[in-house]
Structure 1
């Protein structure tokens, strides 16, 4: 309690966006999940990581990768 007898609440809002599975990313990009698998094999596409046996994508990394595609298209 504070001096005046009231309680002050401090609220911290945190936005947490989890990692994306290949299926979620495929839906986001509007492409088949198989295409992502092919891209990983060829070394193309957004960066990805393996957690145990699961492939995951960082949404921020995906958005940065998309931005590079947009910038290279504008330069062409």
Structure 2
């Protein structure tokens, strides 16, 4: 019996059913927003994207904060229109 690598859930599918029960990685954010991972790091550095935080050297995102960020962006865009 061979050991297989753990399978990560698709962040899109998880968010469609509700908030995931784990913190999101820069890779997850890049996949969700369809941007390069470097863009995610630039957003964090410039504080222009969803708020992230560091756990040691690792950048993580709270799914609730990402949801709030998207909701705020949608509200801002609708108000500007």
The TM tier, using the shorter chain, reads 0.7 to 0.9
- How far residue 29 of structure 1 moved from its aligned partner, in angstroms, is 1.2
Query: How many residue pairs end up in the alignment?
Result: 62
Return 5+ residue gaps in structure 1 as ranges: 1-14
TM-score, normalised to structure 1, is: 0.75
Distance 1:43 1:26 in 2: 16
**1:43 matched residue in structure 2:** 47
User: Superposition RMSD on alpha carbons, in Å?
Assistant: 1.4
Which structure is higher in helix share? 2
Q: Is the radius of gyration larger for structure 1 or structure 2?
A: 1
Return 5+ residue gaps in structure 2 as ranges: 1-18
TM-score, normalised to structure 2, is: 0.71
